[in-house]
Amino acid sequence: MINKQQILKKRPVGLPDKETWELIESKIQELNDGEMLIAQEYISLDPAMRGWMNQTRSYIPPVELGDVMRAGSVGKVIKTKGKTLFQVGDYLSGWGGVQNFCITKGENFHKVDPSRSSLSSYIGILGMPGMTAYFGILEVGEIKEGDVVLVSGAAGAVGSIVGQIAKIKGCRVVGIAGGKSKCNYLTEKLGFDGAIDYKNENVAKGIKKYCPKGIDVYFDNVGGEILDSALIFLRKNARVVICGAISQYNSKSNIKGPENYLSLLVNRASMKGMVVFDFAPKYSIAMIEMAGWIKEGKLIHKEDIYHGIENFRETFLRLFSGEKMGKLILKI
């Protein structure tokens, strides 16, 4: 059996290009005792992956040159040797990487049940993006009923869930997304109270229009100019959740720092960073609550699925061009 793997070959400056990864093919090695062979079905594509490619201190070590590109995934155990953590036929989610098959002892995998929710949902709404949204808006953003919540990257895997959870909790929710169709999706399908099209509108004017009394919580996935616009409209004791900075990940020059950060002082506001892994002990509680909301029709999730490990780079770049909607997934 042949495995196809996307190997990190060269650290990119700016957007990943054709030299960044190399697709290699190799025969699958024999298993050692305790190892399992997973046939991967879905690979998760997330903006955070861009950060893992840089040779800088971060919340997890960088992907090393020559290693399979790190990615979350979900797949099925098709072979085991000796005593293993999981059995043939089990569906597992974990860090399978960008490859067709994965050999692992399973320490960083957990069992999922495709009869309860679609397999792909375990890397989406019930996976890292869903958990990020849940803990980010509830525990870091500390929303309460009546809050005005602004979210950027609002049509994305995290932002779309953030906004819906805030609606469930009785907040007024405004999203920022790129393009008319995404904005329509937010207001017409997801129940957002307003949507600002940053590609065609002035964001500051949009915030002023939809949040005339200012913002209590800003959930930031993008950084850059949009973060700066949001800071202008903070209310007293506002909370800014720094979840990501997708506009800056491929910057070839310095990161753009938020010029309006003194709004934190004037408004006694806070800006707090989050890493979803910190909440791992509570994932199961979140998954139960989220599954309930999905069942009740209060939480909608959209997946944008592309095919083939060969198309990994082109698909990954959609994260940064905005040419995707909801959770971006590569099907093997």
Which residue number, 106 or 223, has a Cβ lying nearer to a copy of itself? Answer: 223
Amino acid at position 237, single letter: N
List the Cα angle 168/173/250 in 5-degree steps: 115
Which residue number, 173 or 269, has a Cβ lying nearer to a copy of itself? Answer: 269
Smallest gap from residue 319 Cβ to a copy of itself (A): 17
Smallest gap from residue 74 Cβ to a copy of itself (A): 26
The contact mask relative to a copy of itself for 16-55 (x = CB under 8 A, - = no) is: ----------------------------------------
Smallest gap from residue 272 Cβ to a copy of itself (A): 4
Which residue number, 36 or 245, has a Cβ lying nearer to a copy of itself? Answer: 245
Distance separating alpha carbons of residues 156 and 317, to the nearest angstrom = 14
Which residue number, 29 or 59, has a Cβ lying nearer to a copy of itself? Answer: 59
Q: What's CA 136's distance to the chain center, in Å?
A: 12
Binder among 58, 108, 181, 284 for a copy of itself (CB under 8 A): 58
Which residue number, 51 or 191, has a Cβ lying nearer to a copy of itself? Answer: 51
Total Cβ atoms within 10 A of residue 90: 20
Q: Are 62 and 54 in contact (CB under 8 A)?
A: yes
DSSP string, 224-236: HHHHHHHHHTEEE
Which residue number, 24 or 262, has a Cβ lying nearer to a copy of itself? Answer: 262
How far CA 143 is from CA of 67, 129, 187, 238, in Å, comes to: 40, 18, 20, 10
Which residue number, 6 or 152, has a Cβ lying nearer to a copy of itself? Answer: 152
DSSP string, 63-115: PPTTSBPP--EEEEEEEE-SS-SS-TT-EEEE---SBSEEEE--TTEEEE-TT
Q: Tell me the number of residues near a copy of itself by CB under 8 A.
A: 33
The verdict on 138 binding a copy of itself (CB under 8 A) reads no
Q: Name the DSSP letter for residue 178.
A: S
> HSE on the CB side for 214, CA within 13 Å?
14
Quickly tell me which residue has 């310095």 as its tokens. Answer: 254
Smallest gap from residue 60 Cβ to a copy of itself (A): 10
Smallest gap from residue 269 Cβ to a copy of itself (A): 6
Which residue number, 55 or 87, has a Cβ lying nearer to a copy of itself? Answer: 55
Report the b/e string of 25-63 with b at 16+ CB within 10 A: eeeeeebeeebbbbebbbbbbbbbbbbbbeeeeeeeebb
Which 160-189 positions form the footprint of a copy of itself (CB under 8 A)? Answer: none
Smallest gap from residue 160 Cβ to a copy of itself (A): 20
Distance separating alpha carbons of residues 230 and 204, to the nearest angstrom = 7
Binder among 46, 197, 216, 228 for a copy of itself (CB under 8 A): 228
Which 241-300 positions form the footprint of a copy of itself (CB under 8 A)? Answer: 242-245, 248, 254-275, 278
Smallest gap from residue 236 Cβ to a copy of itself (A): 9
Amino acid at position 131, single letter: M
* Contact residues for a copy of itself, defined by CB under 8 A: 57-59, 223, 228, 242-245, 248, 254-275, 278
